[in-house]
Structure 1
């Protein structure tokens, strides 16, 4: 299959083995038309706008997948490639290990404490015969004839709110050569049973608050054992009293039995098109991901992240936790998102008229719904608190947004309040992050930026009416290995030349990618027109009577699909409408307002006013379920 497409490829470049805070990038673009390629090297425009200059010239699209690591007497390049995901614990300097890694529940936890807790959990779980511990025992696995690689380790389910015990459990799994499987805290019993059975999980480790539900689930899941995690502490046991040097040598010993190709993590998709699928990430793939993120977004040991996202998604797990820990940063873990809690934490870091805290928050990442709620919280403050909050937010060095489209009005209002133009990026469970706006340089509203270093993208417009508009396809060193035990689905998800089909329709303008929506639900076919639901939603959200909005198509015999808009009005507008018994907005009023902003064929033909729009844990609207609800209500 030949695709009419544009490729972008970004390369790692380093003149030394050390991880430089200002990496030099080589940017190369390749335009492919009708199977003929034209390659040109660009040696001047830095990706982020920082003072970076390109070096070597490349004449072909070749990924340079060199492993970067800090100078360390215990760490070899080979070792790094085998257990990159535990990079944060591989620091021989005691000062670095004594640095605070996590804050949770009002307590600080150093890197050394979390490492020791990981060994403690590893040892206790092994004693219960829950996993085979082949890595810890130094046993050499044989290569499987069918797959050509060594078999994966046992799967360990992890169920805990964001806390030190969660991180220690993941490290414990990897130190044992096992596969970590984070479990969603919102999973009902039937979903938990499905994941435990599908992943063939050996043991579930969990904090005390999930004991009751998991005891019921484990009872219905033959072969699965439950282990309740002890608190991460500094108790005087054999692990705690071991020297850090000994523990680090033990880490190196265990890593020597890994190749980097083994599964390290299985994340289950949200299951919007059926039962959730297990997405398998390898040790090497995770290593590539944390390196790309920390370098491109300039994470450092001086950073302190405020974390309020679920840990069973790549956004909360990799972007906001593993990548910061990889660089030696500190992560403040909130058990769940709280509007007042986030604003207060920022004000504590940067008090108005006072000195910043000793270790202030420097970075924050959220989903659009988080920023909407923060703005609502800001509007409810008195003038003095607003002034202090806006001042504090302005002091952070980086604020990012992703996981779903960021409405332009939200971006503009956030920038007006805090001075931050949110950095939008694009990713999926299957490869982590693939595209990003720059830390330094132009951040384009409604665009998700350019490829990360090492990432290639193409656009498959073979089924499109408009050249240059089509499905985004992507290659990345962080690409998942497979859908767990679904080889056919895995194969169908890639093009013949190895690009992953994202299922998102995009266009590219001046090298920046714009997501038009999920091909399956956000590209509407109305009367011969292909329309972007996201584009229309962005316009409708400018209306003063619309706080939230979802545009989707319902089957129609005349037009193919009939465009519908489900809206949620602002609380004040809803109360006003209820008091007068008048609708907050009519379809006629919406058309009258929108006719200067949208072509006639882009105007919704049905309007639904709801109190809320159902969303998943990351704030995404499940449009397939929304469409199902609307169709059922119409029958």
Structure 2
């Protein structure tokens, strides 16, 4: 369990070192680890209460139990992850802003037995827990360094704490499941991607080496914690190297610019321990540029000065438009480090931190990673599906052995589903092999999952969902729908439509996450089909793109 082992080292070397900040609250590595120990005891008591066994027996028998965590970005979330791992349990992060139907699917599919949350989130999840078999547990608050008595040292009991934690993690095998992250795919409903402790260890090592991360770094974090980018790249990796993370509750254009200006004032010395690293998705950089454009001249000057002081800025999760990269470099002096990864293996390709950063390319394989381009079914040599081997590769799709088997080649390469080409060792993403996969604002979506939901609408008999290009989000969700035959007939008598984009969005928001809701609606009387009676989405997409707005 390399992540927790590294934390133990940080606690031993500098227990008072700040690990996480949230607003004006500060939490040290020792305080976080002590709180994780409390979470571990809380979960032990839960299971001991049910079978009256000793704690050691409970911990051994229930290694692998799935624990859901649903909370805003906070120190308690970190403690919940670590505390679950101390008992050998598997963490399943849940999105606080997801509709109940989506969360219930994850809770049921993952067979989650307990859900950990914070007091301020209880109201949002109470109904969810009532409709599932999982039990709800409140996370104990992490003691803030700001609230500690000035005579009370964080070093008290550190040796015993570290010894207990090391004893606990020694009972958990490296190849044991540690994390299940749900992701969309061509099969429709989100499926659970199972990562092991060894795989997570490989991920954080590769990322920290690629970015030259050290304990002197400070990350500004404003990404979702139920995705690889926010959870592994921007949370576990800095904690692994002993760095500090400033957790923002959510991305805010003004909040990010303000935080940078505070760290690097134009008319004074830099703040103590300022932000050194920022990672985001293309949509964030688009909005930061928009926010900058709306500032007055004085604020622009201060903001540009501050942004130039950061050590590195990175971008991932979807393709970065070259004009955005060029404008950002002109403003801040930073050539964004564009990289590539997937839920199944984390980060795998990256432009170099030091060296040429090719616009439009996602970089080269990180050390230890093998890639291959399968052009066997392509009309152009050297253009084909990207295949991947990595020490950070996921173990399996949860309870889907056939899908897991079909996702790999006979010689063990993972099929990414991305069509690529290579130039001078750099990989360029040309698109998805399947039109049923969309990339919206850094989120990978399944068209089939969205279609299944829309077909429950009484005014939709058929539908085809796909992505359309968008400057801000990369792609937006477009739905072409056909109403029931009766609705088409009735429209001649009553021209008022039963369905509009606004009505559909209001209806869909109760059933799927906001970023999956269609942003464009096209209503046709019939769905075009080929000679075999199949719907050709690629042709429908071409037709929609060719139509006047």
Structure 2 counterpart of 1:248:
162
Report the Cα offset of residue 187 of structure 1.
1.5
- Per-residue CA shift, 1:335-360, capped at 9, x if unaligned? 00111110010001110021011110
User: Aligned ranges for residues 69-468 of structure 1 at < 5 Å?
Assistant: 83-91=1-9, 94-129=12-47, 137=56, 152-222=63-133, 224-233=134-143, 243-270=157-184, 273-468=187-382
In 2, Cα distance between equivalents of 1:124 and 1:394: 45
Residue 207 (structure 1) shift? 1.2
What CA deviation, in whole Å up to 9, does each residue of 1:223-253 have, x standing for no partner?
x1100122211699xxx89611111111221
Judge which range, 500-509 or 128-137, deviates more.
128-137
- Contact 1:132–1:154 at 8 Å: present in 2 too? no
CA deviations 1:572-597 (Å, max 9, x no partner) are: xxxxxxxxxxxxxxxxxxxxxxxxxx
Matches of 1:132 and 1:367, distance apart in 2: 46
Gaps of 5+ in 2: 149-153, 439-468, 481-500, 528-549
Tell whether the 8 Å contact from 1:400 to 1:422 is kept in structure 2 after alignment. Answer: yes
Given that 1:114 and 1:167 are in contact with CA atoms closer than 8 Å, whether structure 2 keeps it comes out as yes
Q: How many pairs are equivalent? A: 462
CA change 1:183–1:271 in 2 (3 A) is farther
Show CA shifts across 1:156-188 (max 9, x none): 000011110000000001011100100012211
Instruction: Provide the C-alpha distance between the structure 2 equivalents of 1:241 and 1:422, rounded to a whole number of angstroms.
Output: 40
CA apart distance, 1:375: 0.4
Report how far residue 85 of structure 1 moved: 2.2
Check 1:318–1:551 CA distance in 2 against 1; reply closer, same or farther (3 A cut). Answer: closer
> Contact 2:374–2:384 at 8 Å: present in 1 too?
yes
- Within 2, Cα distance between the matches of 1:253 and 1:242? 19
Is the alpha carbon distance of 1:305 and 1:548 closer, same or farther for their aligned partners in structure 2, counting shifts above 3 Å? closer
Structure 2 distance, partners of 1:309, 1:436, is 19
SS of the aligned residue for 1:317 comes to helix
Name the CA distance, whole Å, in 2 between partners of 1:231 and 1:214.
18
Task: Evaluate the alpha carbon distance shift between residue 139 and residue 155 of structure 1 in structure 2; reply closer, same or farther with a 3 A threshold.
Answer: closer
Q: State the TM-score, normalized to the length of structure 1.
A: 0.68
Match of 2:390 in 1: 476
- Matched with 1:35 is none
State the secondary structure of the residue aligned to 1:278.
Answer: strand
Query: CA separation in 2, counterparts of 1:359 and 1:633?
Result: 61
Provide the rounded CA distance (Å) in 2 between the counterparts of 1:423 and 1:447.
Answer: 10
Residue 204 of structure 1 aligns to a residue in which SS? strand
Aligned equivalents of 1:627 and 1:273: distance in 2?
A: 23
Does the CA-based 8 Å contact 2:339-2:349 persist in structure 1?
A: yes
Normalised by the length of structure 2, the TM-score is 0.78
SS in 1 for 2:26: strand
Separation of aligned partners in 1, 2:326 and 2:100 = 41
Supply the distance in 2 between the matched residues of 1:94 and 1:415 (Cα, whole angstroms): 40
Q: Which runs of no fewer than 5 residues in structure 1 stay unpaired?
A: 1-82, 143-150, 525-539, 556-607
**Contact 2:371/2:389 (8 A) holds in 1:** yes
Root-mean-square deviation (CA), in Å? 3.2
Cα deviations by residue, 1:422-465 (Å, 9 ceiling, x for unpaired)? 00000000000110000000000110000011100011111100
Shift of 1:628: 9.1
Query: Matches of 2:360 and 2:325 in 1, distance apart?
Result: 9
Distance 1:244 1:439, change over 3 A: same
CA distance in 1, matches of 2:352, 2:155: 45
- The whole-number CA distance in structure 1 between the counterparts of 2:53 and 2:178 is 15
Contact between 1:157 and 1:204, CA under 8 Å: does it hold in 2?
yes
After superposition, the Cα gap between the structure-2 partners of 1:242 and 1:376, relative to the gap in structure 1 and judged at 3 Å, is same
Equivalent-residue separation in structure 1 for 2:81 and 2:10 (angstroms): 21
In the TM superposition, residue 122 of structure 1 has moved relative to its aligned partner by: 1.4
The secondary structure found in structure 1 opposite 2:56 is coil
